Amino acid sequence: MMKLLLGLSRAIDALNERVGRTLMWLVLAAVLVSAGNATSRYMLDIASNAWLELQWYLFSAVFLLCAGYTLRHNEHIRIDVVNSHLSTRTQMWIDIFGLVLFLVPMSLIIIWLSWPVFVNAYESGEISVNAGGLIRWPARLMVPVGFSLLLLQGISELIKRIAYLMGLIPNPLEKHENAALEQLHVDEEATK
């Protein structure tokens, strides 16, 4: 059973890795849109609310859709001052507790509450109240999709924490020098 769960974890990791690496480019796009918008506004005296809203959409996409990627790479905010003084096993149990009691329920609630908001915006053709503004449903869709990716990554992290406590994989919180070597070790342990 754990072999199947570790396979699921690897698939989720791969999904969030692909999404994160792809959407990183939106940071550059947001910077270029921002620079272009500022240049056209101050040098050419041409302004557009659509460009400003596009910046917000791009930033929102990076923030929301890359949350799972951030969790996958253990780059989210932690209280390391306290956590670093605890044993690795205790850290794993704290993570399991946090994932089960906070991250998973919070993600499910936000997905549940945000989906009807997206559907309403899509069906009504909601657009920005600003002159020249953009349609709103893509921004509304980012919330349930982003939290779905975060939820999936939370499940993956939960699987890895349990597998570590069972002695099946190395510490998932450690940064290993060679990720390919680490994945090979995970694959070998899962097949045992």
pLDDT string in tens for the chain (192-residue length): 888 999 999 999 999 999 999 999 999 998 998 888 888 888 887 777 788 888 889 999 999 999 999 999 988 776 667 777 888 899 899 999 999 999 999 999 999 999 999 999 999 998 888 877 788 999 999 999 999 999 999 999 999 999 999 989 898 877 654 554 455 555 555 455
Domain residue extents for the chain: 2-76+86-170
H helices then E strands: how many in the chain?
A: 9, 0
Name the β-bridge partners of 135.
Answer: 127
Detail the DSSP E strand segments found in the chain.
Answer: none
Q: Which helix (H) or strand (E) covers residue 28, if one does?
A: helix 25-43
Q: What contacts 151, CB < 8 A, 6 or more positions away?
A: 103, 104, 107, 108, 111
C-alpha distances in angstroms, 29 versus 21, 47, 57, 152? 14, 18, 11, 27
Name the β-bridge partners of 127.
Answer: 135
pTM, entire model: 0.83
